Amino acid sequence: MRKVDLTRDALKFVNVLDAKQFRQVIRKMLSLLTDPEPADLRKLIG
C-alpha cells in the first residue's frame, strides 16, 4: 500500500484552504494513491 508524506509547508498550505478546496485537494491526493498515473496525466514542464 502506498502512503503520502506531506512536508510541513504542504500541511500549512492545505490547512489554510477553504473547505471546498481542502476537499478537492485531499480527494485528488487519495485518488493518486490508488492510480498514480491516471489517463489524463501530463508531465509538468518548467
Mean pLDDT, the chain, whole residue set: 89
In-domain check, residue 6: yes
Q: Does residue 45 have a pLDDT over 80?
A: yes
Domain count within the chain: 1
Q: How far apart are CA 39 and CA 37, in angstroms?
A: 7
Which pLDDT score is estimated for 16? 96
In-domain check, residue 29: yes
**Which structural domain range is residue 30 located in?**
1-35
In-domain check, residue 11: yes
Is residue 5 exposed (0-12), middle (13-18) or buried (19+ Cβ within 10 Å)?
exposed
Which pLDDT score is estimated for 32? 85
In-domain check, residue 42: no
- Residue count (the chain): 46
Range 9-31 burial, b when 16+ CB lie within 10 A, else e: eeeeeeeeeeeeeeeeeeeeeee
In-domain check, residue 5: yes
In-domain check, residue 43: no
Which pLDDT score is estimated for 41? 81
**pTM for the structure as a whole:** 0.68
In-domain check, residue 7: yes
Amino acid (1-letter code) at residue 31:
S
